[in-house]
Amino acid sequence: IINSLFFLSYYFWLNLIRMNVAYLQLGSNIGDRLKELSSAVNCIKDEIGNVLSVSKIYQSTPWRVEGQENYLNQIIKIETNLSSNELLKGVLLIENNLGRIRIEKWGERLIDIDIIFYNDDIIETIDLCIPHKHMHERNFVLVPLNELAPLYVHPKYKRTVNQLLNETKDNEQVILYDV
């Protein structure tokens, strides 16, 4: 019995130690945008892990696209025991369950969930790129991310989020959304 208790205790603590921290970017530019962001946060809480912090909501013009409605964007910091690939599958499933239909690259979207950071990992595969490969070029990611983690160091570029925001050449407007 003592050995069994030790094993269960060890397994419990091992799982606690294995918690991963990720930053996710949420965006919506069609439908009830606020409701979509809120629904995404709730689904992430229910299906992926603990939401540790949530940025304010920002409105932005579509990035490098004309003729679309403005986006509402938000960054959340989560804690999860999912691997990076499991996290990707989880956010894609949530997008699908919330009604996202992928028609064109950078097209309008009911909900978009991107993995910005996953621990300090650098992952570059066909299916997954972490840190997100365009995050350092996008004010709509950097502004809310800077609110939550200005001193977080990008594992590939070795620059803080605040430095990336100050150095970006993106001129798209990102403003605080009055909720």
Which residues belong to the active site?
A: 100, 109, 112, 114
Any bridge partners for residue 80, and if so which? 20
Q: Which of 77, 82, 146, 73 is nearest to 112 (CA)?
A: 73
Report the phi/psi class of residue 170: left, alpha or beta, with left for phi > 0 and alpha for psi in -120 to 50.
beta
User: Distance between CA atoms of 130 and 124, rounded to whole angstroms?
Assistant: 7
* Residue 23 and residue 114 in contact, taking contact as beta carbons nearer than 8 Å: no
User: Distance between CA atoms of 101 and 34, rounded to whole angstroms?
Assistant: 18
Q: Which of 109, 110, 122, 113 is nearest to 153 (CA)?
A: 122
* Residue 50 and residue 89 in contact, taking contact as beta carbons nearer than 8 Å: no
Q: In whole angstroms, what separates CA 169 from the centre of its chain?
A: 22
